[in-house]
Amino acid sequence: MELQGKRVLITGASRGIGESLARAFAGAGARVALVARGGDSLQSLAAELGGTAYPADLADAAQVAGLIQRIEDDGGPIDVLINNAGIGSTSSFIDAPDDELRRVTELNYLTPVELCRQVIPGMLRRGGGHIVNMSSIAGIMALPGLATYSASKAALSHFTAGLRADVRGWPIGTTLVELGPIPTDLLAESDNYEPTAKSFKRVYRLGLTVDTPRERVARQVVKAVRKGRRHVRLPRRSIPLAMLVEAPRRGAELSLTGVPHQPRR
């Protein structure tokens, strides 16, 4: 997809990976629409990049309802949706706050799925679009203290595979981004629970993962949208693990080659 002049919606855009994604897509000539809870920082970034800002709490289903339509009514069609917003959950599962399971699942899984549901009809009417779901290697590797977070990311990864099957033959691309540790506030939360912190130290020591700068993530996502790539996996040493999990999905996809796919009318 040529990004010049395209409108790219990025959730969780006020800081961290989302901010880097916003800068990278704006630098590629796209018009960015930014969603996050943070009002001031979000507005400042949008103004700097010549984009538009839409403050919203994406863990609130009432604010998510109709969000795509409101954004498109305000600034035009969305050509690329990047579901980046997410929150962590680092603690013993049974000691987590009462509402944490619901909030993490809502923001990390249900909201991205709902935004996909909202954006696809318009993409189909216009004859094209691309969806990027930002997931995590935590959806593959289960570490202590990350049960809720890992489950939400595993669900998002598997949903993206199912979505790809549903839109097969339609002019809509999908990219699943599976990330290891990125130096952000979310990663820093792992130090809050000793079993998680010790697990990360072990994984680093064994060489199973390394930190990846968020700017590199953003560059690779831009490249994936441009080239229509199905996956971005960082760090690269995590690729074999991701491919092991992907193998049954890919096998099912190949086994269904030639099965008629009913286009949306």
Positions marked catalytic = 149
Strands 7-11 and 31-36: parallel
CA–CA distance, 46 with 42 (Å, rounded to integer): 6
At 7, which amino acid appears? R
CA–CA distance, 106 with 99 (Å, rounded to integer): 11
Helix (H, G, I), strand (E, B) or coil at 213: coil
Of 74, 25, 82, 65, give the one whose Cα is nearest residue 49. Answer: 25
Q: Using only the alpha carbons of the chain, give its radius of gyration.
A: 18
For 153, half-sphere exposure in the C-beta direction (CA atoms, 13 angstrom radius) is 26
Helix (H, G, I), strand (E, B) or coil at 209: coil
User: 189 is written with which tokens?
Assistant: 């939360």
Contacts of 236 (CB under 8 A, 6+ apart): none
